[in-house]
């Protein structure tokens, strides 16, 4: 099967997402300690979606299936962080039912972009299925429930507390307005009856 024309986006984003993930994990010493016990194990992240965007044939790459990112593979380092490793996507996709030895497969169910945006605004996470080593699965589940990126704290380190609080307030206001805005049946957004 030919690669999707826009598949390069995931490969450009993966190193930056790995840095962000490691930043979040390293801010919580309990998380790094839990991961250090699983040094060398792999975590494969796969995507599942039934969403098919209405794209012209030249953008869809001739694929009639779901439009989703290629699988990602991380190795847990001795420091209790993650390292993105090159994985042949065809090998990872071909072994959909094979869990790596001592590792995990995390399958993230993606909805259509509008639904995912609504869920993100409400603080909801996408549906996730974890398969593999029970002890590592417990650590992954704990991390998904307990780790959050404290954006305001990071901004405060660079700009100070007052600008960080101002940006938080502006962001919260935008979020609240977006949550209130709902297209009505008549086609006019936000019109109340």
Mean pLDDT (10-residue bins), the chain, 193 residues: 52 84 91 94 88 59 57 93 75 48 84 76 81 92 85 77 81 75 54 46
pLDDT at site 2 = 44
Q: Based on the domain organization, do 103 and 170 belong to the same domain? A: no
Note the residue count of the chain.
Answer: 193
Q: Based on the domain organization, do 155 and 142 belong to the same domain? A: no
Q: How far apart are the first and last CA of the chain?
A: 51
Q: Is residue 35 part of a domain?
A: yes
Give dist(CA 108, CA 91) in Å, integer.
18
pLDDT at site 10 = 65
**Structural domains counted in the chain:** 2
What range does the domain containing 50 cover?
8-146
pLDDT at site 134 = 92
pLDDT at site 183 = 56
pLDDT at site 124 = 79
Q: Is residue 1 part of a domain?
A: no
Give dist(CA 156, CA 144) in Å, integer.
25
Q: Based on the domain organization, do 39 and 90 belong to the same domain? A: yes
């Amino acid at each position: 099967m030919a690669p999707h024309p826009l598949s390069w986006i995931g490969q450009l984003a993966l190193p930056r997402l790995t840095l962000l993930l490691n930043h979040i994990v390293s801010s919580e010493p309990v998380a790094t300690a839990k991961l250090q016990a699983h040094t060398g194990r792999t975590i494969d992240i796969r995507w599942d979606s039934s969403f098919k965007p209405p794209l012209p044939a030249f953008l869809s790459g001739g694929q009639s299936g779901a439009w989703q990112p290629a699988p990602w593979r991380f190795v847990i380092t001795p420091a209790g962080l993650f390292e993105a490793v090159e994985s042949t996507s065809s090998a990872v996709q071909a072994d959909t039912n094979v869990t790596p030895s001592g590792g995990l497969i995390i399958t993230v169910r993606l909805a259509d972009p509008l639904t995912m945006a609504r869920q993100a605004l409400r603080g909801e996470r996408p549906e996730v299925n974890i398969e593999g080593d029970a002890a590592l699965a417990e650590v992954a589940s704990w991390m998904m429930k307990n780790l959050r990126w404290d954006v305001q704290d990071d901004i405060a380190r660079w700009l100070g507390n007052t600008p960080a609080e101002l940006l938080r307030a502006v962001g919260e206001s935008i979020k609240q307005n977006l949550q209130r805005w709902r297209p009505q049946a008549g086609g006019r957004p936000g019109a109340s009856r």
